[in-house]
Amino acid sequence: MTRPRILQIGKLFPATEQALAAQYDVHLLASEADPKAFLAREGGNFVGVATSAGVGIDGATIAALPNLKVISSFGVGFDKVDVAAARARNIPVGYTPDVLNDCVADTAFGLVIDAGRRFTDSDRYLRRGDWLKAPYPLATRISGKKLGIVGLGRIGRVIARRASGFDMEVRYHNRRPVEGVEGYEATLEGLARWADFLVVAAAGGAGSRHLISREILAALGPQGFLINIARGTVVDEEALIEALENKTIAGAGLDVYEDEPRVPARLIACESAVLLPHLASGTRETRQAMGDLVLENLRSFFATGQVSVAVP
């Protein structure tokens, strides 16, 4: 029996790639010197696509695959997947939510602690030998502070649970209140003005581009910290750099950036910012679970015509 031919766009978790190759006829698009010419010749042979949230698939690539039946994406974000183009052809798009909630929330809270207590910066201070000259400056307490969450979805709710262990007061801002959840702030500016730590957990995409604007950062103020584990595009990065340089906010903890993996030199120079290389879901356990769901979405489609977990 002929195995379904799958186009892999970008690298995936190694164990996922191995399992894909064992079950399907997989071709890595990045192995082609001229991907556009390859798709023009061979695009009609592929029935499925395996991709990731960081790479996605655009409308032009979907159009170059006339027999495409299913897309399975490794990750929770789908702003780089042209979902509208897929839906126009009734192509289901699977993704991997929930299995990464805990690790992303852990990273968010790690950034809260590190930005406030300045552990990373104090580590550099010790290694430079500066402790021999003077004690490290005082930092900011975490317990009992006010935590604002921008986007109380799957991951935002887990972040809120983490905050309860530190006796933090939690409020949130969404497009609309979450039924049964107290602490809704009707405006993002109001949430920023109230919060000591503003954690961004909103979905990416055109609708949330630069949601954290110059005005929101001004509302957060010189004692406030911004934490972003969502998408780099949600924050106006230039405005954030200026706020850090001018100390109009106290600090930031970032796992995502507008033009990854290129991080502006001015941002790297900001010692009040903790910078991570987009590793929020980067544990062996979570990446394995994400890969398993990529495979399950494909298996389910070829068995039933539907992916197990489709984008909303």
Catalytic residues: 231, 260, 278
Residue 129: is it exposed, middle or buried by C-beta count within 10 angstroms (0-12/13-18/19+)?
exposed
SS3 state of residue 249:
coil
Q: Which residues contact 184 (CB under 8 A, 6 or more apart)?
A: 171, 172, 173, 174, 177, 178
Q: Are strands 146-150 and 93-94 parallel, antiparallel or unpaired?
A: unpaired
Note if the bond before 261 is cis, omega within 30 degrees. Answer: yes
Could you tell me whether strands 273-275 and 251-254 are parallel, antiparallel, or unpaired per DSSP bridges? parallel
DSSP state, residue 45: G
| Residue 164 burial (10 A CB sphere; 0-12, 13-18, 19+) | exposed
The beta strand positions in 42-200, using DSSP E, are 48-52, 70-74, 93-94, 146-150, 169-173, 197-200
**Residue 91: CB atoms within 10 Å:** 18
Residue 225: beta bridge partners? 197, 251
DSSP β-ladder status, 70-74 and 48-52: parallel
Query: In sequence order, what are the residues at sequence separation of 6 or more whose Cβ sits closer than 8 angstroms to the Cβ of residue 200?
Result: 150, 151, 211, 212, 226, 227, 228, 229, 230, 234, 235
d(CA 92, CA 182): 35
Q: How far is the C-alpha of 163 from the C-alpha of 195, rounded, in Å? A: 13
The whole-angstrom separation of Cα 217 and Cα 236 is: 9
